[in-house]
Structure 1
Amino acid sequence: MTLRAATEADIPAMFSLLRQYESTSLFPLARLSEAGLGGDGPHALCAWVAEEDAAISGVVGLSAAGMLLPQWPGAAWSELRPALAGHKVSGAVGPAEQVRPMLAALGLASSPARHNGDEAGFVLELADLVEPTDESILIRPDHGHRPLMTEWRAAYLTEIFATPPAEAARQAEPDVDRWLAADSHRILQAEGQPVAMSGFNARLPDVVQIGGVYTPPALRGRGHARAVVARHLSEVRSKGVRRAALFAVSPAAVRAYRAIGFREKGRMSLVLFESLQRIRA
């Protein structure tokens, strides 16, 4: 087995491997699709590939924001540390059975983290989507919705990831600007009022990954989260998307997603360090 830095020539084989494990590989798949290898911006990606008998058997991505994105079944994790020595990482997201031994091998398993959890993964064939029957409507947000979306995004970051409020407010603004530019998010309106938000944090022509679903606390327990996700998926199904994936943070979220047809598949780990961690040789 050889572990080496990936090149542009490796991208087709990387796609082929990642597609075999699609539901847990949508972050690296989407990043490769958007920007290839290298480039600028928070979604830019560099990667290392494991090669056996001239075939790629594993991929470990590192985003410009410092997130490790592994998809290396049967990995020899001890080989990764020398390759990544000197790089700074902000966290990791991927299959739980890979993220945990990977962080241990990199000497990062006990690094202070503001979020460190394993969450249930879910998948849905959109032909099986259970659509809402209420009278809510889906809105494509524009710049006029930016203040509300920024407020909701900051609240989400603080609630889910324990991001300090001031930092969450700073992060929310560029997040929302990217969403508006990418047309990735939708707002649910009920009785003339915005009540929930849904988005895609990874997208390919035939599959999407749901992320950042938010309902203000005072409006929870009324089915708004499941309605906004279902209506958003119904919209993209009409444009050729056939599958969806997500991972759920809370029991309430699990119930909501099961209610619209999602079924559980695997577990995902999401780790966000309190500060950048340098990988030592």
Structure 2
Amino acid sequence: MRRVVPGDLPAIEAFLRARTPRAMFPLSNLARYGLDGEHPYAPRFWAAWSGASVTDVLCLSTNGTVMPVLPSGDAGPALEVLRGREVCRVIGPAEECRPLIDGLGLTGRPVDLDQDEPHFAMDLADLRVPDGPGILHPLRQADRDVLLDWTAAYNAETLGQEPEAARREAMRDLDLRIETGSHRVLMAGDAPLAMTGFNATIPDCVQIGGVYTPPGLRGRGHARRAVALHLAEARRAGATRATLFASGPPAIRAYEAIGFQRIGTWTLFLMKTPVRVPARGSADG
């Protein structure tokens, strides 16, 4: 694998777009933050080539998040790229992430979350919007303290964060979501029912993330209605596809009910603290 330079980007983007549901984070981060930028989520890329054709891409964000797109199934070159580098997360298709996690010696390290979840996609022409109470509003129209509590609870329940860290991250996450307009809240009058959002977007595809319903309101279809209404909004803006990864039978049932179909398994490997992967030949590697 060699480091991607600006002149390579048309080929890299074409390769990633051919695999859009499995490459939404790299595509969205590239569009938002640019190649080799300073933002924590700005991507750096390495690619393997066969002649003029890209065969594999490894994305490593500035903050150490590894996002592989390795359809060849050969993890070896990506492992060599990552040796000696700092890693905090590995996110992507399970069949591409697990060999990296094992090969880098990260298995068994302290984590907030180490989970494989069903991965889904949908053509938005097939979207079904369920009936029910509530309409979508921007987050700024709901009570901030309620949304802060919901976001912290989501971070703890879904991402495995400790309460103090979950609250701290929630303050940052909520401000960013309000600023970017990435999330919505389903409200019946002044009462918030559920929250939904997009954690990655490109013009023709959105990726669902940050969906939350408080425990006392669960089991009433609020989350699926919120997600469906948000997807309908994205469809009106020009998106044609959507993707997500889901945790637990209730979420899976909700997403299948509005039109999602499973396409694979998604790994979320979120470490408690970043780890510098030993370089080949080092005393500890």
TM over 0.5: yes
Task: Name which of structure 1's ranges 245-254 and 171-180 shifts more when overlaid on structure 2.
Answer: 171-180
- For residue 9 of structure 1, the aligned residue among 7, 10, 17 is 7
* Cα offsets for 1:214-264 (capped at 9, x unmatched): 000111001011010011111111111111100101111000001111111
Q: Percent identity over the alignment?
A: 42
What residue is the counterpart of 2:208 in the other structure?
Answer: 210
Aligned-partner Cα distance in 2 for 1:84–1:36: 21
- Look up the SS of the partner of 1:230 in the other structure: helix
Q: Distance between the aligned counterparts of 2:121 and 2:107, measured in 1?
A: 28
Partner-residue secondary structure (3-state), 1:56: strand
Per-residue deviation at 1:67? 1.0
Partner amino acid for 2:232?
S
Q: 1: CA distance between counterparts of 2:50 and 2:107?
A: 28
Structure 2 gap ranges (5+): 280-285
Encode CA deviations 1:137-176: one digit per residue, 9 max, x unaligned.
1111227643322211110111112211111111111111
Taking the TM superposition and a 5 Å limit, the aligned residue runs for 1:47-196 are 47-142=45-140, 145-196=143-194
How many angstroms apart in 1 are the aligned matches of 2:142 and 2:193?
A: 16
Query: In 1, Cα distance between the equivalents of 2:200 and 2:181?
Result: 12
1:8–1:36 Cα contact (<8 Å) kept:
no
1:237-276 paired onto structure 2 within 5 Å: 237-276=235-274
The one-letter amino acid paired with 2:265 is R
C-alpha distance in 2 between matches for 1:278 and 1:271: 15
Give the partner amino acid of 1:222: R
CA distance in 2: counterparts of 1:198 and 1:119, whole angstroms: 18
Question: Counterparts of 1:146 and 1:239 in 2: how far apart (Å)?
Answer: 27
**Out of 7, 24, 39, which is 1:26 matched to?**
24
Query: What amino acid is the match of 1:203?
Result: T
RMSD value, Cα: 1.4
Q: CA separation in 2, counterparts of 1:115 and 1:8?
A: 34
Which stretch shows the higher mean deviation, 37-46 or 231-240?
A: 37-46
Instruction: Judge conservation of contact 2:134–2:193 (CA < 8 Å) in 1.
Output: no
Classify 1:190/1:143 alpha carbon distance in 2 versus 1 (closer, same or farther; 3 Å): closer
The residue type equivalent to 2:245 in the other structure is F
Report SS of the residue matched to 2:99.
Answer: helix
Query: What are the Cα deviations for residues 83-129 of structure 1, in whole angstroms up to 9, with x where unaligned?
Result: 22221111111111000011222222332222111111111111111
138-147 or 206-215: which moved more? 138-147
Partner SS, residue 142 of structure 1: helix
Q: What CA distance in whole angstroms lies between the structure 1 residues aligned with 2:245 and 2:80?
A: 31
- The count of aligned residue pairs is 279
TM-score, normalised to structure 2, is 0.94
Pair 190,14 (structure 1): closer, same or farther in 2 beyond 3 Å: same
Contact between 1:80 and 1:106, CA under 8 Å: does it hold in 2? Answer: no
